[in-house]
Amino acid sequence: MDGRTQTMAGSEEPTPLLGGVSHRRWTGLAAASLIVLLLFALLYISARRSVINEIRHQAMGIAIAVAESLDPADLEQVHKPEHIGTPPYQRVQHYLGRVVSSNSDIRYIYTMRRALREDAREDDYEFVVDGPARDIDEDGVIAADEESELPGKAYSARHLPELVAAWRQPMADPEVSPDPPYPDLMSGYAPVHNERGQTVAIVGADITATTVRAKLLALQIVIATVWVVLTLLMIMVVSLFYREQEALETNRALAAELAGRNEMLRAANTELAHNNEQFVREMKLAQSVQLGFLPKSFPRQDKIVFDRYYLTCEMLGGDLFDVFTLDNDHVGMYMADVAGHGVSAALISGLLKMAVTSARESPGGEAGALTARLIQPDKTLSTINDMLVKELPEYEFITMIYAVLDIPTCTFHVASAGHLSPLKYEAATRQVVSWDIPTETALGLVEKCAYTTVQRTVAPGDKILFFTDGLVEAMNVRGEEFGEEALRRQFGQQALQPPAQIITALRQSVEQHRGGEKVSDDYSILVAEIR
């Protein structure tokens, strides 16, 4: 009996050891899970604050932009409900309506001023021009909270210190706050100043609590998903660690398996290298297609001589330009710059190329009528903008300058959609001047944009320099930009040379300024010489 008892006791000795390992494994998992949970709770608190701040700055930024765009003289002429039909009221409300329609997060946008009565407190306000009434919930009925407030209607800001402080500087609510009879809101405010710098009104932009909650819910889902994934990965790591402690005898098998996996990795690396080579070939093909968008020769060299240069910071870029004949007396040209660079910018530049081609080749009745439209830069930009605004992704845009040379009169007709103004070397005065083209809304942002055509005369010997912002924004190792003054100086020093030599000198100046620093943005140069 003693022998059997000893044998049985000996066979049971490993059990406590395995149980201890298992207990330590689950204890370690629980502790690690708790630490990760606490870290993600802190991360959520910080991320939530960041999202709230982003929403606050979004509302305040829109309010600031609207305040800068409004004419204070219009607001000063609106005081009573009878002023609703006046042109100043209509202009302001129409603009507020456009802003709301182009910003889906904004529920209300309005203007207020401090109450004008003698006994008014600092926090007593009154409406000036409210945004137009609209069926927000699309139920076919304009509810009370969807109507436009009348001019002069009193509003107490006693519970909104940010609104009171906005009379002096832009502000935003720190959190969502109740504002009966309106829904719970988070608002941004900005003052409207007259020519004397005095505040005549404020602009308020409201984002509903529903929108804020939706953004926070998206944040919660992302953080929860990442937490679950990391927790599962942590469980796997801890489990593998303890399994290794329990199964040292399997080292040889694991080593053999590792060798097999290494062989698979080598094979995968070989396939990856092959795929990378194929990708490079395809990118080079795409690059050659994109370069094919650029002009290989130029028209009417008897009257105007061109040369050009295009540099991308990656294999594909977002700059685009072209020169083409409209008729015997007119030559059209444009230069465009897509926001950003790389593959996405290249795709958008291809979209622009198609839009321009469509504008040139679209059916328009008689050929003379189509040519007449293309000779008008403002209408050409409006047409291209209407095409692009439906196709471009949100927040993407293109700057573009379009010019038409009237050869008999030596006159350029020019319009700009947010693009930099060209520089002109005047042969008669030997001076470099900016064309100062009005810079209007970039393409693809807002529907039905109107543009302005201006005229600039030229004379034989004059030279025009078109360029994109990557040229003047080229940086050196100290983060200093090349700058438009340096460009103007270099252009003036080389202006007596042919266009090709001017471009070579400008390139060398930019390269010398960069000093080997990597190009951070594409840039294009187009030089035209009048004969």
Burial of 74 (0-12, 13-18, 19+ CB in 10 A): buried
Q: For residue 182, give the 3-state DSSP assignment.
A: strand
Q: What is the pLDDT of residues 448-494, one digit of tens each?
A: 899 999 999 999 999 999 999 888 888 888 889 999 999 999 999 99
Residue 289 tokens read as 């297609």
Residue 135: predicted pLDDT = 77
Residue recorded with tokens 């912002």: 469
Is 50 exceeded by the pLDDT of residue 4?
Answer: no
Q: pLDDT category, 334, cuts 50, 70, 90? A: very high
Burial of 513 (0-12, 13-18, 19+ CB in 10 A): middle
Give the containing element (helix H, strand E) for 382: helix 377-388
Is 60 exceeded by the pLDDT of residue 387?
Answer: yes
Give the containing element (helix H, strand E) for 113: strand 106-114
Is the CATH number 3.30.450.20 carried by domain 50-214?
Answer: yes
Q: What is the mean pLDDT of residues 424-451?
A: 92
DSSP letter (8 states) at residue 296: S
- The rounded distance, in Å, linking the Cα atoms of 148 and 64 is 21
Q: What is the mean pLDDT of residues 50-67?
A: 88
Q: What is the mean pLDDT of residues 351-355?
A: 74
| CATH number at 295-530 | 3.60.40.10
**Domain extents for the chain?**
50-214, 295-530
Q: What is the pLDDT of residues 290-322, one digit of tens each?
A: 565 577 888 888 899 999 988 776 656 678 889
Most confidently modeled range among 31-35, 247-251, 452-456: 452-456
Residue 333: predicted pLDDT = 92
Q: pLDDT category, 528, cuts 50, 70, 90? A: very high
Residue 367: predicted pLDDT = 40
Q: pLDDT category, 402, cuts 50, 70, 90? A: very high
Q: What is the mean pLDDT of residues 96-124?
A: 89
Burial 164-200 (b: 16+ CB within 10 A, else e): bbbbeebbbbeebeebeeebbbbbbbbbbeeeeeebb
DSSP letter (8 states) at residue 2: H
Angle at 189 between CA 187 and CA 195, to 5 degrees: 165
Contacts of 499 (CB under 8 A, 6+ apart): 305, 306, 307, 463, 527, 528, 529
Q: For residue 402, give the 3-state DSSP assignment.
A: strand
- The rounded distance, in Å, linking the Cα atoms of 123 and 114 is 7
CB atoms inside a 10 Å sphere around CB 143? 12
Least-confidence region, from 159-163, 365-369, 386-390: 365-369
Say if residues 388 and 410 touch (Cβ distance below 8 Å).
no
